[in-house]
Amino acid sequence: MGFLDQRQWMASLEQHGELRRIKAEVDWDREIGAVTRRVLEKKGPALLFENIKGYRDGRCTKLFASGLGARSRLALALGFPRDTPNRALVQHVMQKNREAIPHVLVDGGPVKEVIVKGAAIDQTEFPVPKWHYLEGGRYIHTFSSIVTKDPDTGVMNVGLYRGMIGKKNTTPFLLIKGGQHWGAHFVKWAARKQPMPVACVIGWDPIMSFLSGSPLPAGVCEWDTMGAYRGEPAQLVRCETVDLAVPAGAEIVIEGTIGDDPETYENEGPFGEFTGYVSDLPTPRPTMQISCITHRRDPIFCGSLEGTLPGSYSENSVMSSVQRAAIAWNILNGAGIPGVLDVFAPPITNGVNLRVQIKKHYQGQPKQIAAALWGNSAAQYRYKHVTVVEEDIDPADDEQVEWAFAHRVNAGEGGVVIFPGIFGSPIDPSTPMEDRDVAQLGTGLWNRMLIDATRSWKNPRRAEWGGERFPPTVRPAPDDEARVKARWAEYGLGDL
């Protein structure tokens, strides 16, 4: 599967019945967000808004949303049939995350069709929504891929971070110095007393957003990992005003720098975060000073409605359910933990909760699993609660996991383990405000929890239990089940 640009991706979705064009006039101020939320609740298709109030004429008139807002569409983006099961997608992602095909630089591309600099820069010429009525402004970067570079190694990083329109040519970001790769870059640039070059890519192959929202290891260039996924090099062009490279086929690229002088900070927030809560208070944040915007003629803006609620989750949730599980599985393999059979991140939690299925080899194995995950930088915003089950429990089946939780967990005997005061999310509403002070702490602080829902090996094996440590379940004997199955129609139950 070669690279797609956003328009080819939209055409593929439309061909599969996974895209709906909204031709009625909609307002960028809250209405687009409310429409998108209701479609997510209905488990509906991706959306292309073609008639946005105040944007019938001009530089940009359309908005694309929810391209990866369903498991079926994520499967298509990864090159699989829409009904591919979770485990197959996770194992594919595990493999591709370990591969690379280096990107190549080309002389030009559609993203250079229009180049805007100086006083002509105006972010409001794009139909950027105010997604939610309680947000602090119009969030232009909800599904953008943010490119930065390590000044020591020159290796680029591509991340997914939130950014809000400040002035026409400024964008304050939630930039966390501790735990995020661009945060580490920012610290290095600040030590050199130089602003950090930044390029924000809006709209390209869906694999870009999928991987920019994934915590690959530090020093790995996401453009090269994307090449492995697509089986060919990513074609990049150099930016106009910063020393970075971006996809030649992108819709929009916004270039600039972010400095560490608090005098340049602007207020950012609140924002309807992936937690499903409106996060933060307006807070001075590091702010991008925009030096150039390049884009296609008649570009199509791309954004994502954030915020996970029961019955309604967005692209971030769908991506996290696969990518965070794959990254966790690779972490566990790298730590040498045996017997990992499956890893599942419930989409409703965006990977904050994680379930690991194992063939149990020893009593302390679940604790080793939690320690490996919590000690990895990928756990910055995720893996807060880890549940470990055995091979007879499907980690994706809520009923099975709840049953194991009820009857295999003894909180007073190591079944629940709390790890206090470790790095975590500064946007988690359950975290006390003093533990969310990024300016003082460098990150947020979490108390993490392991639920060991495996059968304890402290129990001796008993002959009356068939040599097992736990009593048998109430499932009928195999020969009784076979006899009933053979007579099922005779019972008059053949329609069940």
Among candidates 449, 387, 445, 446, which has minimal Cα distance to 418? 449
Please count the structural domains in the chain: 3
- pLDDT score recorded for residue 413: 87
**CA angle centred on 452, ends 336 and 433, rounded to 5°:** 95
Task: Answer whether 46's CB lies under 8 Å from 62's CB.
Answer: no
State how far the alpha carbon of 44 is from the alpha carbons of 6, 16, 66, 112, in Å: 19, 13, 9, 34
**pLDDT means over runs of 10, the chain (496 residues):** 94 97 96 95 96 90 96 96 93 96 97 97 97 96 97 96 97 88 94 97 97 89 97 98 98 98 96 90 95 97 93 90 95 96 94 97 96 93 96 96 96 92 90 87 91 93 90 91 95 91
Residue listed under structure tokens 């499956």 = 342
| Residue 294 sits in the same domain as residue 404 | no
**Spatial distance between the Cα atoms of 308 and 315, rounded to a whole number of angstroms:** 10
| Residue 12 sits in the same domain as residue 87 | yes
C-beta neighbour count of 441 within 10 angstroms: 15
Domain CATH number, residue 437: 3.40.1670.10
- pLDDT score recorded for residue 437: 85
| Residue 338 sits in the same domain as residue 190 | no
250 belongs to a structural domain: yes
State which of 274, 302, 330 marks the end of a domain. Answer: 302
**Spatial distance between the Cα atoms of 29 and 174, rounded to a whole number of angstroms:** 22
| Residue 470 sits in the same domain as residue 445 | no
pTM given for the model: 0.91
- pLDDT score recorded for residue 419: 95
- pLDDT score recorded for residue 492: 93
| Residue 268 sits in the same domain as residue 171 | yes
1 belongs to a structural domain: no
| Residue 294 sits in the same domain as residue 324 | no
Among candidates 1, 244, 302, which has minimal Cα distance to 105? 244
46, amino acid identity: A
Collapse the DSSP code of 438 into the 3-class scheme (helix H, G, I; strand E, B; otherwise coil) and give the result. Answer: helix
Q: Which two tokens stand for residue 272?
A: 């309807």
313 belongs to a structural domain: no
144, amino acid identity: S
308 belongs to a structural domain: no
| Residue 170 sits in the same domain as residue 289 | yes
Q: What is the residue range of 488's domain?
A: 466-496
- pLDDT score recorded for residue 377: 87
461 belongs to a structural domain: no
| Residue 387 sits in the same domain as residue 424 | yes
| Residue 264 sits in the same domain as residue 180 | yes
Write out the DSSP string of 303-343.
Answer: ------BTTB--HHHHHHHHHHHHHHHHHHHHTT---EEEE
**Spatial distance between the Cα atoms of 87 and 342, rounded to a whole number of angstroms:** 7
